[in-house]
Amino acid sequence: MTSQHPSGWRTSSRSKQHTHCVEIGHLPDGAAVRDTKNRAAGHLTTTGRQWSAFIDAVKAERFG
C-alpha cells in the first residue's frame, strides 16, 4: 500500500453506460480504484505488478 495521492482519475469505459461506476487513478508505482458514487469513502491501491495481473485476467475473461 502507498500513502501517495492518486492523480488523473478516469472512469472505466465499461462503466459509462451503467450506474455502478469505478474510477481509476494513477500512482507512480501502481493504480488506485474508487467508487464514483462514494468518493469520500477512499480508494483501494495496488502495485503496478498487481494492477497488470488484474488487467490481464480481465482481458482473459477469468472472472466469468
| Separation of alpha carbons 57 and 43, rounded Å | 21
User: Mean pLDDT of all residues in the chain?
Assistant: 87
Q: Above 70 in pLDDT, residue 3?
A: no
pLDDT of residue 36: 87
- Tens of pLDDT, residue by residue over 6-33, are 999 998 776 666 677 889 999 999 999 9
pLDDT of residue 1: 47
| Separation of alpha carbons 52 and 42, rounded Å | 21
pLDDT of residue 16: 63
